[in-house]
A and B are shown apart, each in its own frame.
Chain A
Amino acid sequence: MRIIIVGCGKVGYAIVSQLVKEGHTITVIDNNKDRLSTRLGGLDVMTYCGDGCSFSALSDAGIETADLFIAAMGSDETNLLSCVLAKKKSKCKTICRVRSPIYMNDVEFLKRELDIDMVINPELDTADECARIFKFPSANKIDVFLSERVELVHFKVDEKSGLCDKRVVDIRKSTKCNVLISMVERDEEVYIPGGDFIIRRGDVIGVVGAPREVYGFFQQFGVSIKKAANVIIVGGGTTGYYLTKNLIASGIRVKIIDSNRARCEFLAENIKEADIIHGDGTTKEILIEEGLETAAGLAAFTSIDEENIMLSIFAKSRTSVKTITKVSRDSFTEIFSQLNLDTVVFPNRIVSDRVLQYVRSLQFTMGSDIETLKKLGSDKAEAFSIIIKQKSKITGIPLMNMKLKKNVLICSISRKGKNIIPGGSDTIEIGDRVVIVHANSEVKTFEDILQ
C-alpha cells in the first residue's frame, strides 16, 4: 500500500519502522531535515522536508495516489488540519493522532464531521492497557479481543503458582475452566506450546479465554485475582490523567504526584476523587512519605524513561508493589526482561500495533476483517482477531482436518456471543469471530494460516 506519514517524532518513527517491515511504499514528511536523515537514513522510505499542513508538500509527496494518510505530528490541531487537507485532495483513508482530552471527549463527532477514519491516542491506549493490569495485578500484560469478551493474559510463572514444572496437557486436564495456554515466552523466544510442553519457572505464559474463565483458571492455580486497592501515579501527564479517570471509575483509589504546580492545579480541578500531591515523585523521601510501602500499585509515568525505570526498580526493592513502567524509546527493549520490572509499557508500540492492525485489515478485506492485532514477545509473535464474513477454504472444516502452518494456533471461536475454546471437531462458520496466535512471520491474515 502507498502510505504517507506526516511527522517523524517517536510515534511517527515507530509507525514507519513497523510498516516498512511489512513492505509498504512509504513517504514521510517532516519539517526537520536532520531528523529525517538521521532517523530514516537506513530505511527504505522516501522523505520530504516540508510542512505537514502545506498543500503543496502533500501534493509533492503524492497524496493523490496514496491509500492511507497518517498524521502523527506533535500538535493535535495540526494533525486534524493535515488530515482534512489530505481528504480534500485524495480518496485515501486518514489516521489522525489526537491526544488532548479536550478533543477526545468529542472524538466521534470529530471523526464524523472531519471525515477521519481512525483516531490514535497513544496516551489513552496506554492508560487503558495499564488500567486493565491494575485491575488484575498478577498479570504482566493483558491483551483484549472482541470488545473485551476474550482476553489474552500474560503471566510470569513463579514457584508459588501451581503451574510450575507441569505439562500443558496435564494443566488442561486438571482444570474445568474454558481456557487455552496459547503461547510461552522463554529466553526471548516465543513458543506455541504443544501438549508435551513443560512450563518452567520464569516463563511468561499467555492464557486465552473469556475474562471470567481466565480468572477462574488463575484462582485455581493459586494466583491472586484481586485488583489493586490503591495506586500511586508518578507524573500527571496526559497518560496519568486518562489512567486516573479509568481507575477511579472501577473503584481504585489513586494518588498522583507531579512536580509541576500548574499541572497539579489542573488535575485537582478536573479530577475531584484523586489525591493530588505537588512534589518530585522521583525522590525517595516523597515516595515513602506518600505511602509507597502501603500502595498496591505504582505507575511510573514521568516524561523521562530513565527516571521511570529507576523509580520502578527502587519501588520493587522496597516493597512488593505492582509497578508499571512507561518507556517511550524502544531501542533497548531486550534488556527489560533482565531487570526486575513487572510490566513495561511502550506507548509507541501500542500505537504502531493499532496502525498495523488497521493497515492489515485495509489490505486483506477479502471475506474477513482484522479487528484487533497485537504484537507479542518483542515482535516475534502476533495475536489477532478476525470476523469471518464469507465462505472460504477455512470455513466448515473440523479443525483436526485443517493443515495449519507451523506455530499457528486458533485460540478462540466466538459464536453468537458465546466463546468456544476450540477442540478438534469444532468448525469455523460464517459470522464467527476468531482469535489466532502465531509465531510465523509468513502469516499476515487469516487466509495465510493454512499450509
Chain B
Amino acid sequence: MNYGVVFYILGWILKAESIFLLFPFIVGLIYGEGAAWSYLLTAGICLVAGVLLSLRKPKKGGLFLKEGFFVVGLGWTFMSVFGALPFVFSNDIPHFMDALFETASGLSTTGASILSDIEALSHASLFWRSFTHLLGGMGVFVFLSALLPMLGGNSVNLMKAESTGPSVDKLVPKLKDTAKILYAIYLAMGLIECIILLCLGLPVFDSLCYTFGTIGTGGFGIKNDGLFSLDPAVQWVIGIFMVLSGVNYSMYFLMLRRKFKQAFSLEEVRLYLAFIIVSVVIIGFNISHMYSGTEETIRHSFFQVSSLITSTGFSTTDFDRWPEFSKCVLILCMVMGACAGSTGGGIKMSRVLIMFKSVKKQFQMLIHPRAVSKIRIDGVVVDHDVVRSTNAYIVLFIIVYAVSTLLISLENVDFTTSFTSVLATLNNMGPGLNKVGPTANFGFMSDFSKLILTFDMLAGRLELFPMLLIIVPKSWRKSL
C-alpha cells in the first residue's frame, strides 16, 4: 500500500469536507442558532487535518486499483467520522456512536435514523443531515475528480471504486469531463425539483432538504411523521423525482446528445420502469381496501414502490401495516434496487438482468450442451469478466448479509426486524419493517449493532469491495 498517495488524497477529502461544512454553518447563522458554531469548529478541524495530510505531494504516483479501492473506503469512513463531530459538539446528538450512525446513514444515502424526535434538531443539523445525501449521492471522489487534477490519469481508479454497477464506463474520454457532466445532470435535476416544490408552496428550507433526499436517493426527512402530512401534489413530485434519480445517468447523457432512440431502448431502464409499474399495480389492488380513493391508493403504492426500489426510504404511509403480500413485493423492490450508474442503491437492475440472462443461458446449455451463446445487454456482448464479477458480487452480498444478520440477532429482536434492518442499511434504504419500520427508528439498538449497521451502510454504498478491503489486515501492509 502506497501510504503517501493514500494520505494525500485523504487530505483533499477532508479539505473538501471542511468547505461542505460551511453550508450548515450558514444555515445556522440564518436561523440564529448556536449550533452553527460547532459546524464552523468542525470545518476548522477538517481543514487543519486535511492540510496536514496533504502537505507532502507524493513523489511516486502509484495510485493503482488497490490504492483506489482502499482510499475510497477509508475516505468515506473519515468523512463519516468527521461529519459526525458537529452533532456531538452542538449536543444535537450527544452520543458519538449515534452521530456516526446518522452521518454514515446520510453519506451513504441510506436515511436510517436513530432519532425519535427529528424536529428537536437545530436547522443547521437538519440541513447537514440532508446535505450529506447530496454529497453521497453522486459521490465525493467523482466531485473531487471534476475539480482537481490530483494524480493525473490514475484517478480513473477512484471513480471505478466509487461508482455503482457491474462495469463502470466513462461517458466521455476524459474523467474530469465525465465527472462534470454527471454532476451537471445531478444538480440540474435537483434544481428542477426544488423549483417545482417551491412553486407548490413548500418553504425554501423544506424544499432544499427534500430535494437533497430525493436526488441523492437518501431519505432523511425533516418531520417526525416523515412525509405523511405533505400535500398529495408534493408527494407525487417527490415520487416521480425518486424514479428519475434511480435511472441510469447514461440515459440522460444520451438524451443530451440527442440519441433518443438509443436512450429509450436501454434494457436496464426498461426493466426498471416495468418493475415499478407492475409492483405499483399489484400492490395497488392488494391495498385498495385500506384507502379511501383510487388516487390515494395509487399515490401510496407508487410512492412506496419508487421510494424503496430507488433505496430512498421516504414514506407517505406506514407500509408496515400493509398486507403481507404487499410487504413481500416491497422487500423484493428493496433487494433489486435502482439502475447501475444512478444514485440509487441495492443490487442494481443491470446485475439482476445479467443474472437472469445467465440463468437463461444455463437452461439453454442444459438442453443444447453444444450451444455457444453470449449474454447481451443492449445488443452488446457482456464480457465474461463482468458476468463473473456480478456472480461474485451477489455471493459476497449474501455473505455480508448473513454475517450481519447473525450479529444483529444478538439484539434478541424478532427475525423480521433483524432481517430488514440489515436489508435497509446494506441496500441504503432507510426504513425496514416491524421495529425498524417507517414510523420507528434504530435508536433502541446497542452500540455494537449500530457499528455493524454503519459498516453495512458504507459497504452497501461503495458496493462492498472497498469497505471489505479496509478491514482485511493484508491490505494495510506497506510491502507485498
Q: Which residues from chain A sit less than 8 Å from chain B, CB to CB?
A: 2, 20-21, 25-27, 33, 41-46
Contact = CB atoms under 8 A, between A and B. Distances in A.
A27 B173 contact: yes
A408 to B, nearest CB: 23
A44 B172 contact: no
A25 B177 contact: yes
A42 B173 contact: no
Contact of B157 (A27, A42, A46): A42
Contacts of B170: 46
A123 B175 CA distance: 34
Shortest Cβ-Cβ A-B pairs, 8 listed: A44-B153, A46-B173, A25-B173, A43-B153, A44-B175, A27-B173, A25-B174, A26-B173
B155 interface: yes
16 contacts: A2-B173, A25-B172, A26-B173, A33-B383, A41-B156, A42-B64, A43-B153, A43-B156, A44-B152, A44-B155, A44-B156, A44-B173, A44-B175, A45-B153, A46-B170, A46-B173
Given A20-B153, A42-B64, A46-B172, 16 more contacts: A25-B172, A25-B173, A25-B174, A33-B383, A42-B153, A42-B156, A42-B157, A43-B153, A43-B156, A44-B152, A44-B155, A44-B156, A44-B173, A44-B176, A45-B173, A46-B173
B163 to A, nearest CB: 15
Contacts of B383: 33
Nearest to B175: A44
Nearest to B169: A46
Chain B, interface size: which category?
10 to 19
Nearest to A42: B154
Contacts of A43: 153, 156
Which of A20, A26, A41, A44 has the most chain B CB within a 10 Å cutoff? A44
Which of B173, B175, B176 has the most chain A CB within a 10 Å cutoff? B173
Nearest to B156: A44
Interface in B216-241: none
Contacts of A25: 172-174, 177
A43 to B, nearest CB: 5
A45 to B, nearest CB: 6
A67 to B, nearest CB: 13
A72 to B, nearest CB: 17
A42 B383 CA distance: 19
Contacts of B154: 42
A42 B157 CA distance: 7
A41 B65 CA distance: 10
Nearest to B68: A42
Nearest to B64: A42
A46 B175 CA distance: 9
A22 to B, nearest CB: 12
A44 B174 contact: yes
A2 B172 CA distance: 11
Interface of B: 64, 152-157, 170, 172-177, 383
Contacts of B173: 2, 25-27, 44-46
A27 B174 CA distance: 9
B298 to A, nearest CB: 41
Nearest to A20: B153
Contacts of A27: 173
Contacts of B156: 41-44
B180 to A, nearest CB: 13
Nearest to A33: B383
A20 to B, nearest CB: 6
A25 B174 CA distance: 6
Nearest to A21: B152
A34 to B, nearest CB: 10
A33 B374 CA distance: 16
A15 B175 CA distance: 19
B152 to A, nearest CB: 7
A41 B172 CA distance: 15
Contacts of A33: 383
B248 to A, nearest CB: 18
A27 B178 CA distance: 13
Contacts of B177: 25
Contacts of B157: 42
Nearest to A44: B153
A21 B152 CA distance: 8
A43 B170 CA distance: 12
A383 B64 CA distance: 32
A359 to B, nearest CB: 15
B217 to A, nearest CB: 27
A2 B64 CA distance: 26
Contacts of A46: 170, 172-173
A41 B168 CA distance: 12
Contacts of A42: 64, 153-154, 156-157
A319 B152 CA distance: 46
A45 B154 CA distance: 11
Nearest to A3: B173
Contacts of B174: 25, 44
A164 to B, nearest CB: 33
Nearest to B154: A42
A21 B174 CA distance: 12
Contacts of B152: 21, 44
Nearest to B149: A23
A25 B178 CA distance: 11
Nearest to A4: B173
Nearest to B160: A41
A46 B178 CA distance: 11
Contacts of A26: 173
A253 B253 CA distance: 63
A2 B177 CA distance: 12
Nearest to B153: A44
Nearest to A61: B173
Contacts of B175: 44
A316 B247 CA distance: 66
A210 B154 CA distance: 43
A42 B158 CA distance: 11
A272 to B, nearest CB: 50
B379 to A, nearest CB: 12
Contacts of B64: 42
A45 B156 CA distance: 9
A20 B174 CA distance: 10
A27 B155 CA distance: 17
Contacts of A2: 173
B68 to A, nearest CB: 10
Contacts of B172: 25, 46
B289 to A, nearest CB: 53
A291 to B, nearest CB: 48
A25 B175 CA distance: 10
